[in-house]
Structures are given as structure tokens and as C-alpha cells.
Amino acid sequence: MLNRRHLLLAAGATAFVATHASAQSRPAASGADQQLSALFDQFFQEALKESPELATSLGLDTGARAPMKSELHQASLADLAHRKQLTADQLARMTRIDRKALSGMPAVNYDAVYYDLATTDAANRQFNYGGEGAGSPYVVSQITGSYQDVPDFLATQHTIETAADCDAYVARLHQFGRLMDQELERVRHDAGLGVIPPDFAVKGAIASMQTMLVPPQASSLVRSLVTRANAKGIAGDWDGQASAAYTQAVVPALQRQLALMQSLLPKATHDAGVWKLPDGEAYYAAGLKAQTTTDLTPAEVHKMGLDVTRQLHARADVLFRKIGLTKGTIAERYGALYKDPKYIYPNTDAGKAQEIAALNKIVQDMQRRLPQYFDVLPKAGLEIRRIPKETEQAASTHYTEGSLDGTRPGIYWLNLRNTAEAPFWDMPTTTYHEGIPGHHLQLSLQRQADLPMIRKVQGFGAYIEGWALYAEQLADEMGVYKDNPAGELGYIHDALLRSGRLVTDTGIHAMRWSREKAVATLSSIDGDPVSLSGQEIERYSVWPAQACDYMVGKLTILKLRAKARAALGARFDIKKFHDAVLLAGSIPLTVLEHHVDDWIASQTKQA
């Protein structure tokens, strides 16, 4: 799973150098191509200026930009208004370029960036709460807010090589306090409009914040700096400095956020959907368009979920019969499989380490298979790590990108708060989704592709999550589950989770389902324990439409693959198809359809 609108924080500094070097070696562009290239350079510089975190993640917080390594982005109401105006201005600048004069990848690049700006600008103009566009309407919830994002960013993106890096880390701890206080301003503003997260989301945020309020010596924010500085032999009282910053800046700001969330709890309702918010039905429609990058209606998405669920249940029944589970509904049989002890590692640190080691072997096996299906492979490595204990209660398994030069690997973060929630029959398909041939492969190739920098760091959820879900099916087609029906049941289970998301996300936000009805429905579809289904539904409640990305994106890629196979016949090459889809980078599904049509036409001409 990935987050953000969608500046993906990942490539290395060499990516920036390589992009401009390759541009210099190309034949000189003319007219609209040159205008677009120059404009995209402007957009990228503007993105860096707005986000010190992006500069850090790209390795560009050096030289003249070195002060950015001590900063975090600004998040006040005034800053949000500024960014909305910047989006409108960027959109206006794009419209001055003659789109009809573009073709090939410049046209794809234009359409991708234009779609993002246009949909975001339209939502910015319509809604006066949340962030930019129609993403999450809640600035702070159990899964949104800097209290969730900054600790992970500092631990995985802020490099520690010198004393100056340590000083910058300490400065960012002070900035973290400022950032949380700026969020308070926006939370109060939105609450004044009646925009308050559901009561269960407020309670989740309160619980997570309380977990984070620990003495300095127990805080991952302090320990991350001290451990890494000691490993590098960097002299200095980093424990004392980090502890002071944590105590003086982070803890008071976190306490203020906690107090505000506690004050909002009596005002929060139990209604899960955004329909309850000002112009809430329109907010969901805008979110569905922005997230799926299609014009599908809630009713169409809901029906799609029901149809796919029926197909997957039929396949699951066949597989369950192979392993001797013949009685009960599909969900009940998955419930029985969840309880089978032979698939559950000990719920200890040692047991969790064993599970991660087993998953690393699965990654190694997949690496050997990839050349049969892909011409271009990732340069960055892949690591599997546990989500830190401080945030694992609310955090989901996810992936963060690595650097192009391989100095920082991609990381597949696995939630192992309870190994019984991660039985091993279900873990291979999760690994293919988050690692290879899923997120790690797709995002690494996007960084390596010959694209403008703004496209290298841009992402669309339906494409990204759609590819990762397609990768789960591709792994099955590669034969990884041969003679392993339990493993294939894991793949089917996760596909059912995604079809269930189509049903329940639209149920919550368009059909006004209660949290409880959505939890029961999702659990009846994929057989997950109510505890897991509850966490899923609570996530969808505060991030409307995002859960629809996965299956809509996968079905679109499969539809395009079938179209290409039918058009090209014996000339169809799965490697070339994957190149066509991946090397264009993350793009809206509507743009992907046109791009694949052009690729099919080019392959036909070559025959």
C-alpha cells in the first residue's frame, strides 16, 4: 500500500543527474516539446521548494540546498492556501502549451501531469477542508497526520553520515513540534465546519498518540539518531540533544494534539462515511475520480466488486476442496485456515524474525523468475522490515521506495503485531505485492525510466496499486503456487480483500452503511477476523475511495493485456507489454489505455 498525492519520495541524487544527462544526449526538441520540458523543470523545482522532505528523499538536500535537511514542510492554513494557488497556477501554465503539437512520451507526460493538476484544482475549489484535492478529509486521524508520517520519514529517509546530518536531525525534531501545531490550526478550522473524524478514528488517534508519549530513552525518534550516529562513530552528545528536542518540542506538541483529539471525541459521530460532511456526496465522487482515475460511478464500482467476488469465491471453493475443507461458506473456511497452527509463527520477536527470513527466501526465488517476464529489472535492493512497535497498532503493511543508485534500498514494511494475523499461507502474495514483481519493481523502474523528474516522483494510486495487485496474479501465472493450494488460497484471499473493498468503500460512503455493516460484509467476503476487517473499514472511512484503486487498476491492466494479446497474436511478447506499461511511469488509467493502444499500433507496424 502507498500513500500521497502523489510525489513519491524515493529516487537518489543520481536520478536527477542521469535525467539531465540523458536529456542532453537526445536530439534537440522543438516547439511544444521544449516548452513542456522547461515547464516540468519549473514544476520540479517548485516541488522541492515546497517539500524539504522530497529534497531529502531524492538526496538533493546538499550544497545550496543543505539547509533543507534541517526543515520539514509548512502546514498552516495559509500554507495550504498557497499550495492550492500554486496548483491553479501550474494548471494555467500547462494550458498555454499546445497539446495537439505533442506526441509519443511527451504527450503521455503532459496528460499525466495535467490530469493530476486538473482533478486536484477542481476539488480545491469545491472543498474547504482536509488537504489538497479530495484525499483524506481529516488532517489528523488514526492514520493521517505528521505524528504518523514524520517518525517513519526520519528513520528511513533522513540519512546519518556526518555530524551535520545529526544536527539536522535534531533540528527536524524541533520542526516536528511546529508541524504538529500547524496541523492543530487546520483541525480546529475543519471542526468548525463540522468536519470531525468518526468516533472510532478519533479514539484510534488518541490511542496511538498515547503510545508515542514515552520517556526519551524509549522513543524511537531519539533511538534512531543515537543508534545510527554510534554506528558511524560520529562524536557528540546526540542522546542528550535528541532527548532535549524530543522533550521540549515533540512531547508538548503531541500532548496538544492529544488534548484536541480528546476534546473532539464527544462531538464525533459514529457515522463512517463522508456523506455526513459538507457537500459529502460530491466529495466522495471527486475522490473516486481522483483515486481511480476513471469516470466510474459508485454504483458501477459496487457492482464490479460483487461480480469479482463471485468469481473468486468459485475458485476458492475448488482450492479448499483440494486441502480437505469442504464445509461452510468461503469465509468460514478461511476462518478455519486462519486458525491452523502449522501456518502461524510464534508470536515472539524470534518467531517474527523467522517469518521475515522465510519471506526473504520467497523474494530470492522470485528474483530468479523475473527475467522470463521483464527485460528491465530494478537496480535498488529490497529489504523486509517490521513496522516499529510504536506505530504497529494502526499502521498497515506498506512499501517505501529506495534510491536509484542502490545506496538506500526499497523497504517492505510488514505489520507483525500479532503473527496470528499474518499466517504464512497469506504472506507470499503480500510479498509479491509489496516487493517484486509489485511495488518495488514498478517504482524502481519508474525511477530508472527516461522520464522528466516530475514524472519520476509523481504517482497515481490506481496505477500503482493496480500494478501491485496485477503482480499478485502474475506470480500465480508464473507457477509459484504449483502444488501449493494453500498458497494460492492466500492469493485468492487477498484478491477477495480488494473486491471486498469495492463493495464496502462504496457501501460506507455512497450507500451510508454503518461501520458495523461494512465490517461484517468485508469479513463475510474474505474471511478475515473481525479485528482485521475493522481496521480495514476504519481506514477506508477516513481515506475515501483509495481502497478502490487496487481492483480497478488491476482489471484495467488485465483488460489491456488481453486486448494486446488479441491484436498481436503470436507477436505478443509479455516482456514488451510489461515494458510498455512500466517504463511510461505511473499514469492515470485513462492515459494508460491510450498509451497501450499506441504501443499496440507500433507493434503492428513493426510486424
SS (H, E, C) 178-202: HHHHHHHHHHHHHHHCCCCCCHHHH
Please list, residue by residue across 450-474, b when 16 or more beta carbons sit within 10 angstroms of its beta carbon and e when fewer do. Answer: ebbbbbbbbbbbbbbbbbbbbbbbb
- Are 505 and 476 within 8 A, CB to CB? no
Q: What is the pLDDT of residue 377?
A: 93
Please state, in angstroms and as integers, the Cα–Cα distance from residue 384 to each residue in 9, 93, 123, 356, following that order: 18, 42, 37, 7
Residues in the chain predicted with pLDDT less than 70, given as ranges, are: 1-30, 390-391, 393-395, 403-406, 607
Q: Which residue has the cell 476513471?
A: 294
State the Cα–Cα distance between residues 548 and 544, nearest whole angstrom. 9
Residue 19 grid coordinates:
535525467
State the Cα–Cα distance between residues 508 and 503, nearest whole angstrom. 9
Pairing of β 398-400 and β 382-386: unpaired
Q: What is the pLDDT of residue 3?
A: 36
- Are 232 and 161 within 8 A, CB to CB? yes
Q: What is the pLDDT of residue 6?
A: 40
Q: What is the pLDDT of residue 404?
A: 55
CA triple 493-499-501, angle to 5 deg = 105
Can you give the pTM of this predicted structure? 0.91
Q: What is the pLDDT of residue 420?
A: 87
Query: pLDDT tens digit string along 36-65?
Result: 999 999 999 999 999 999 999 888 999 999
- Of 211, 150, 208, 156, which Cα lies nearest the Cα of 175? 150
Residue 215 grid coordinates:
520517556
Q: What is the pLDDT of residue 607?
A: 64
Dihedral of the alpha carbons of 252, 83, 53, 36, in degrees to the nearest 10 = 180
- Are 518 and 537 within 8 A, CB to CB? yes
- To the nearest 10 degrees (0 to 180), the angle between helices 485-509 and 549-568 is 120
State the Cα–Cα distance between residues 143 and 162, nearest whole angstrom. 33
